[in-house]
Amino acid sequence: MAKLNIVKDGDPVLRKVCRPVEAVTPRIRTLLDDMIETMRAANGCGLAAPQVGVLRRVVVVECEEGKVIELINPRIIAHAGKQQETEGCLSVPGRWGITDRPRHVTVRALDRYGKEFDISGSDLLARAFCHELDHLDGILFTDKAIRMLTADEVE
Which residues carry out catalysis? 132
Q: Would you give the DSSP letter of residue 144? A: H
DSSP 17-78: PPBPPSS--HHHHHHHHHHHHHHHHTT-SEEEGGGGT--BSEEEE-SSTT--EEEEEEEEEE
36 within 8 A of 69, measured Cβ to Cβ: no
Quick one: DSSP state of residue 135?
Answer: H
Query: Residue 124: which region, alpha, beta or left (left: phi > 0; alpha: psi -120 to 50)?
Result: alpha
Q: Which residues contact 29 (CB under 8 A, 6 or more apart)?
A: 112
8 Å CB contact between 68 and 60 = yes
